[in-house]
A and B are shown apart, each in its own frame.
Chain A
Amino acid sequence: MALINSRSSIRAGQTSPHKLALNSTQRVMGLLVLATLPGLLAQTVFFGWGTLINVLWCVLIALGCEALVLKLRQRSLAVCLSDCSAVVAGVLLGLALPPFAPWWLSLVAVSFAMIIGKHLYGGLGQNPFNPAMLGYVLVLISFPQEMIAWLPPMGLEGHNNSLSDAAFAIFGSGVDAVSMATPLDVLKENSSLTINELWQANPVFDGMAGRGWLWVNVAYLAGGLFLLWRRVFTWHAPIGMLVAITIMATLFWQGSGSDSHGSPMFHLLSGATMLGAFFIITDPVSGATSNRGRLIFGVGVGIMVYVIRAWGGYPDGVAFAVLLMNMAAPTIDYYTQPRTYGHHRANKGMPKRD
């Protein structure tokens, strides 16, 4: 009868629900990494082994930095490292950096992202800015020379798909690799040629969005659609950004003359558009919260990406746009609370003080 009166072995005091869905941070992060694989593959194919080496190197640095900070903060290494958030940050930075970015460039970018961008704010879930983009922007404005130097894509003179060259370029004293401006850069610098002339004059252009870039973006798009299908994030932010870019590019296309900013397709499928739309701005921590907020966030990023591309000082602007919108995210959150069941309208702004 002891069983009847009190059984300490029965567990109580736990709130409902008593059973959780098979969902975990690891799973979410793992899916993200999985979804970058097509893009990684495309980038490796078109721009050589450098990208793959970069990604691995960045992941290593990210894990190292994370472990270091966790050690300093006296946290459990096993638990925090296993949530894979560091891996994701490393992968994204590795993909974003130029293929032959020297090792120290990656080191600066990733360690800044992890230590300053993430852990100084309190670690996972606390950072107001996208850490990967913080690291990227830091090296972009500190070392513009290295950052703008992309390699010629596959099929062009100077394309280098030698693994040893890539490794030597990154870790060695540097190979005299042929660097080449990206299509976005070329288009931006162009002031005299019409689009048709430009396409013929510069081998980097091919098809709609430049040699290689088209396929890289399509690969990222595929990965993004996979994540949408797995419901890792909602469609709001990516679609918002892509639609905004399309609209902006259509409005300010200015035909195919020499002052053209490029076609909407060019903008959608060139540069870091798809990487940004599906892998950067969907970072939930630093983005807006509600669906409507995410839509606005995405639209904001899209508009700013185009503004920076068309009239700003840099050929691509995803990183800047994301950081700027990160700053606006809390404000967006205040004004985009969804309408709660049973309420006539949504609450807006800050709670009123009585």
Chain B
Amino acid sequence: MNSSNPSFTPTSLMNPKLVNLPPSGIRKLFDIAATMEDVISLGIGEPDFVTPWHIRNSGIHALEKGRTQYTSNAGLAQLRCEIAKYMKRRFNLTYHEANGVLVTVGGSEAIDLCMRAFICPGDEVIVPLPSFVCYGPLAELCGAKPVYIEMKAEDHFKLTPEALRQAITPKTKLLVLPFPNNPTGSVMTREELMEIAKVLEGTNVMVISDEIYAELNYGPERHVSIAEIPGMFERTIIVSGFSKAYAMTGWRLGYACASPEIIGYLTKLHQYAIMCAPTMSQFAAVEAMANGDDDIAMMRKEYNYRRRFIVDGLNRIGLTCFEPLGAFYCFPSIQKTGMTSDEFCSKLLLEQKVAVVPGTAFGACGEGFIRISYAYSIDHIKQALSAMEKFVKEHAQ
């Protein structure tokens, strides 16, 4: 049935906030790369490992047993219990095993839920940049004003208490803490988080701590969550997931941990929007949490070898890079080539067939930097480094 109104254009009815969101900055580059053959990519932000077999097998077992129904809205009780045990075991955090955990469709859903659960139109959400691309757009869709803090290379891309203090206003509702950080690989230490906690003391700001890369930490200290800092537990929601720690990206499974009151509201929203996370993924995740600590250790060790290898290589060819202590990214400076990030990445792709992501995809302050993923084999990284070395030499000023 056609509308009787000839000027009816569905897209004109779209939410202007959505229409006006900037498109992803790297789509163009990826599209070009997709048409080329033998591209050496260092662009992908997901593990190159396949989910460990015992975890996959648990997913298969769930299917064989016919576990094809919904779970409860908050997720399998057994899984929530395992997550609570895991948080205690790995990060010394105590969450209520029945009511302090919500199982979500990836960490991404948990981030979206937090935004929608807290934001009223006109609120401000503080987002440190460079960081993963979703926080600002999701906040904007809820009617919030994202307030961006530009983290600096000289601070190793950490959030400083001064910068945070300046960004907080009476309208600030949420602070996103994206550490270990995608795209820079920077981490925040316990001491640095204590400084951040001091600034938040006495404010009405909630913290969304995106700790999806918590297990990929290569420093002398284990990962510390801001929720562990005295006074911060009640005002922190930890968002994490199975994707990066267990190489389970495609299972789409994450979780949020907070006080039972907050989890109650997040669950309410989750129940209307999603119902529940995929059941077989949840069964696989029970196995991951219960018996996967060794897998994490093995993958972390492997990433660490590659991390040292690529950081050494980049510094050697003149793309200077501070030592990233988290995730599986490094964020070298390309400023000495005189090119912009976009220019560097498209030329590198066209001339040497190496695909990396411009730093600007993660915020304007990423200009002059590129994101390199080392979720690749050493041989692959070697090949990419020698192509990049050639490129840098040819464009030496």
Q: Do A and B bind each other?
A: no
On A, residues with C-beta under 8 Å from B are none
On B, residues with C-beta under 8 Å from A are none
